[in-house]
Homo-oligomer: A and B are copies of this chain.
């Protein structure tokens, strides 16, 4: 299924070095849920299953630590990070802060919606109709990402992107397994775009607020 299609900001298009292979393999396994939360990862075992030595695996684990996939306990190793409901709520609160800033700036500069957003929304509706929730979720990410890229500066956009691996797994679950909020999501997206076109920051932010508040509440229901 390959969820983390593009690399989390940093080294452009890195060659398929062993270290990169290890990073992709392990991160994907964590996202897919191969390793349980709280589980300790064995470097030698990972090395075997990835097909390299321990060195690239260690580098991958350090990177995964920087991206909050795992915790690093000295002399114990890497532990798959447990994401609490509280943290998930904080992540969405943070998203709200960053995306609001982006929307506000877009409106203040009267720039309208980002290019290509129409296509993204159309694709989303198609995926929704086909009940292809993985694609739906990825396009949702793309929509929000494009808002931030359009409105925020590079530095802020990088911070936003760093947030993604921290909630993507549960986000997919929510969309996939939850009560199908498809219509709500699509409507709110379109309302945000409309507000941007009208340079109406207040409305855009308000809809976004509502949009981003709903999700962690749903998630809370799931995590029990």
Residue pairs across A and B with Cβ atoms less than 8 A apart, 25 shown, are: A10-B65, A10-B72, A11-B74, A17-B74, A58-B59, A59-B59, A59-B62, A62-B63, A66-B66, A66-B67, A90-B153, A90-B156, A91-B155, A93-B153, A93-B155, A93-B156, A94-B153, A94-B156, A94-B159, A97-B97, A97-B156, A155-B166, A159-B159, A159-B162, A162-B162
Q: Check if A219 is an interface residue, CB within 8 A of chain B.
A: no
B contact residues around A74 at 8 Å (CB): 11, 14-15, 17
- Among A91, A156, A163, chain B packs the most CB atoms within 10 A around the CB of A156
Which residues of A are interface residues toward B (Cβ below 8 A)? 10-11, 14-15, 17, 58-59, 62-63, 65-67, 72, 74, 87, 90-91, 93-94, 97-98, 101, 153-156, 159, 162-163, 166
A77 to chain B, nearest CB (A): 13
Docked Cα-Cα span, A72 to B9, in Å, equals 12
Q: Which residues of B contact A90 (CB under 8 A)?
A: 153-156
Q: A62-B63, A93-B153, A93-B156 are in contact. List 6 more A-B contacts (CB 8 A).
A: A15-B74, A17-B74, A63-B66, A90-B155, A90-B156, A162-B162
Neighbouring B residues of A154 by C-beta, 8 Å: 87, 90
Separation in Å of the A6 CB from the closest CB of chain B?
Answer: 17
Which chain B residue shows the least CB distance to A97? Answer: B101
- In the bound assembly, the distance between CA atoms of A163 and B93 in angstroms comes to 19
